[in-house]
Structure 1
Amino acid sequence: MKLHHIGIDVVDLNKSTEYVQSTYQARFLFEITFGEETIRFFQLNEFMLELIYHPAKEQLSCHVAWQVDSIDRILNHISSEDEKKIEGPYQFENGWTSIFLEVDEELYVEWLEETPLLIDTIETPIPSVMVDSCCRYSLSAGRALDTTSPYSSC
């Protein structure tokens, strides 16, 4: 198990994006929409930072995401008491599967399994110049990173 990312709820996604990019030189990786949430991932040295914006959320929270080899193995070791506090598993287009354990209203723990997708399943042609380490998550999401985005530094 290793640290995959830290997720933080934010009030203003654009201001928070500007802050992490200017203060920490975080590289924008990709943005997804999950329900009503808009989520942006950034590369910060050896791990990722996830900024989460939800328009109706009043109580902000954070979480630590651990990358694991098997979500099923984690689920098999969850106590019956904690089982009631599990959200997921969720499947994402980029091959990630994750579950969340609510520790309290302000803190969650996430376990995430990355399943590599085959390049042949990607419909959008990807220029070879785009295929580098900062784009690997965009590749696994099935699309090349939008280099015209104001958040992209790839």
Structure 2
Amino acid sequence: MRFHHFANEVKDLETSVAFYKELFGLQEEQQIVIGEEKNVFLVSDHFRLELTSGGGQSVDLHQAVHICFEVNSIKEVIYRFNKNGIAALEGPIKLENDWQTVFFEGPNHEVIEFLQVNGERV
């Protein structure tokens, strides 16, 4: 397992993308649409940031964030969490770029995403 990205929900996706490109020197890697939600991945040599907008969550009270770890097998992660009595918050989901993702909640209600970018399919 290795760190894949940090995600932040934003109110204005285009303004936020421009901000991180201009001030942080990040480059756009790709865009992914999941239902109503638009996601833009920005990268540097050692860091990946996902900006997300339009998923229906309110960002007025707090920012919706999550941390993501890249794994070799989504199946193994799901098994390990289920074995410990923890059900997925969302997923597994196969994305349009063939990535697979699943979200779980940590002990302090933090959202943890696991992402499989290649290999065995769910």
Q: What TM-score do the two structures reach when normalised by structure 2?
A: 0.83
Give unmatched runs, 5+ long, in structure 1.
117-154
CA offset at residue 47 of structure 1? 2.9
- Structure with the higher helix share, 1 or 2: 1
CA offset at residue 26 of structure 1? 0.3
The runs of at least 4 aligned residues of structure 1 exceeding 6 Å deviation read none
CA RMSD of aligned residues (A): 1.6
Give CA deviations for 1:77-101 in whole Å, capped at 9, x if unaligned.
1121x21x43100001212111001
**1:35/1:21 Cα in 2 relative to 1: closer, same or farther (>3 Å)?**
same
Judge conservation of contact 2:32–2:96 (CA < 8 Å) in 1: no
Of 66, 69, 88, which residue of structure 2 is paired with 1:66?
A: 69
Q: Which residue of 1 aligns with 2:22?
A: 22
CA offset at residue 30 of structure 1? 1.4
Judge conservation of contact 1:3–1:47 (CA < 8 Å) in 2: no
CA offset at residue 46 of structure 1? 1.7
Q: Which residue of 1 aligns with 2:40?
A: 40
**1:115/1:18 Cα in 2 relative to 1: closer, same or farther (>3 Å)?**
same
Judge conservation of contact 1:6–1:63 (CA < 8 Å) in 2: yes
Separation in 2 of the partners of 1:71 and 1:32?
19
Judge conservation of contact 1:3–1:66 (CA < 8 Å) in 2: yes
Matched, 1:109 2:112: yes
Count of aligned pairs between the two proteins = 112
CA offset at residue 55 of structure 1? 6.0
Separation in 1 of the partners of 2:4 and 2:47?
6
Separation in 1 of the partners of 2:6 and 2:45?
13
**Whose Rg is larger?**
1
Q: Which moved more, 1:54-63 or 1:36-45?
A: 54-63
Q: What TM-score do the two structures reach when normalised by structure 1?
A: 0.67
